[in-house]
């Protein structure tokens, strides 16, 4: 009965798959690091680099054709990025000096980072965002968008938290940026770069295994966008034990790859048919389901029974004979230093010892 109800709901109330798009900014200021710019800022839309600036170039650089078009069509937008790049680097260098004093730190390598991002759901219109600061590789301060206050994960950041909490106008500007300005930028970028940003590419999925006792890896490559998930199931239920999820990694062509491993050490061969691997790409209704089948697993492993023992043994014997000859030769030449002559030398005692040494080296 429940199955029929589910079918009825799917037919008359079809599921709409929404996609969440994001715009992220990564900003890094450093002190004491040689041979690199002491300020770098990068922007990404849906994990695709869109712009870049640093303390040497001063002017933002478009990383995509559609980013360049946005700069050309809207000079004020380019000016906004330019000012953010110039002003932020001076502010952040000052932040490092202040933090060094607060934390009683000496000169040396210090890094101050900020990551801010907004996310927009293209179906529901829901918007979310965050701002997070880091210092010397650790979380330092985070913005709570719901309360418009700051969170200090470390006692050293409490002073900065109280200072920022009192600046209500500044917090309201962050609220405006994360909930209004940033999502509008996302929509503009998506419209200009829709041919690449809104494309959908399904992956090829393979089952891989190093040895018969190794975990079976379900590997998907060539998919786009990066918003995807993959998991193993048993009897239609997602597995959480004996499963190891890999990260989503970029390919050289702009697509992505990922894998998820399943440990089968406690699974009998008869139960393999109960397992399958599921790949789901955000925005795509149908999943890619791959049954766990030993016949389709790809591996480079060769069983001992199939190993070409004859040629290998022959090769090993040949190498051993060659090694024996080499050792014998070395032994004879070492004995030569104690008065013995090479086995193939003539009886002429007028041979120049230096010429024999040269011959041995040639």
pLDDT of 103 higher than 90: no
Max mean pLDDT range (154-163, 164-173, 333-342): 164-173
- The pLDDT tens digits of the residues spanning 138-147 come to 999 999 999 9
Beta-strand (E) ranges in 170-215?
204-208
Residue 236: which region, alpha, beta or left (left: phi > 0; alpha: psi -120 to 50)? left
pLDDT tier at 261, thresholds 50, 70, 90? very high
Q: Determine if the pTM surpasses 0.85.
A: no
What's residue 14's pLDDT? 37
Mean pLDDT in residue range 183-193: 94
Q: What is the DSSP letter of 126?
A: -
CA–CA distance, 94 with 112 (Å, rounded to integer): 10
Burial class (CB in 10 A: 0-12, 13-18, 19+), 207: buried
Spacing of C-alpha 307 from chain mean position:
37
Domain boundaries, the chain: 11-197, 204-296
CA–CA distance, 293 with 235 (Å, rounded to integer): 15
pLDDT tier at 344, thresholds 50, 70, 90? very low
Rg of the Cα trace of the chain?
Answer: 33
What's residue 360's pLDDT? 27
Name the token pair of 20: 């969440």
| Mean of the per-residue pLDDT values of the chain | 81
Class of CATH domain 204-296: mainly beta
Burial 116-149 (b: 16+ CB within 10 A, else e): bbbbbeeeeeebebbbbbbbeeeebbbbebeeee
pLDDT of 319 higher than 70: no
- The pLDDT tens digits of the residues spanning 68-101 come to 999 999 999 899 899 988 888 888 988 898 888 8
CA–CA distance, 54 with 89 (Å, rounded to integer): 8
What's residue 328's pLDDT? 39
Q: What is the DSSP letter of 225?
A: S
pLDDT of 171 higher than 50: yes
More confident residue, 337 or 17: 17
The structural architecture, per CATH, of the domain 11-197 is: 2-Layer Sandwich (3.30)
CA–CA distance, 224 with 290 (Å, rounded to integer): 19
8 A C-beta contact, residue 193 and residue 64: yes
pLDDT of 293 higher than 80: yes
CA–CA distance, 111 with 134 (Å, rounded to integer): 8
Name the token pair of 281: 């790409």
């Amino acid at each position: 009965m429940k199955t029929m109800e589910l079918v009825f709901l799917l037919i008359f109330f079809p599921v709409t798959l929404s996609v969440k798009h994001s715009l992220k900014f990564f900003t890094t200021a450093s002190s004491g690091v040689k041979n690199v710019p002491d300020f770098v800022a990068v922007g990404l839309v849906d994990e695709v680099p869109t712009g870049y600036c640093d303390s040497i170039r001063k002017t933002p650089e478009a990383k995509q054709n559609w980013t360049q078009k946005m700069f050309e069509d809207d000079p004020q937008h380019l000016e906004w990025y330019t000012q953010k790049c110039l002003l932020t680097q001076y502010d952040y260098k000052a932040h490092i000096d202040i933090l060094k004093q607060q934390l009683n730190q000496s000169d040396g390598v210090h890094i101050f980072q900020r990551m801010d991002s907004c996310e927009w759901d293209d179906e529901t219109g829901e918007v979310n965002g965050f701002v997070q600061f880091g210092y010397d590789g650790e979380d330092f301060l985070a913005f709570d968008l719901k309360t418009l206050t700051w969170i200090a994960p470390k006692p050293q950041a409490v002073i900065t938290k109280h200072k920022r909490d009192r600046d209500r106008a500044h917090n309201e500007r962050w609220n405006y940026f994360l909930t209004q300005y940033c999502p509008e930028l996302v929509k503009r970028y998506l419209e200009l770069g829709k041919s690449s940003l809104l494309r959908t590419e399904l992956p090829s999925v393979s089952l891989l295994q190093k040895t018969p006792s190794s975990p079976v890896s379900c590997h998907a490559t060539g998919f786009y966008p990066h918003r995807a998930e993959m998991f193993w199931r048993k009897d239609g239920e997602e597995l959480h034990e004996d499963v190891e999820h890999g990260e989503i990694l970029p390919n050289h062509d702009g697509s992505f790859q990922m894998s998820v491993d399943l440990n089968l050490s406690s699974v009998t061969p008869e139960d393999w048919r109960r397992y399958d691997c599921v790949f789901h790409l955000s925005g795509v209704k149908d999943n890619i389901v791959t049954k766990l089948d030993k016949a389709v697993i790809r591996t480079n492993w060769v069983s001992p029974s199939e190993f070409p023992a004859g040629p290998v043994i022959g090769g090993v014997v040949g190498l051993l004979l060659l090694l024996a000859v080499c050792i014998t030769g070395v032994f004879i030449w070492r004995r030569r230093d104690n008065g013995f002559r090479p086995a193939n030398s003539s009886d002429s005692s007028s041979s120049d010892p230096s010429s024999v040494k040269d011959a041995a080296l040639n």
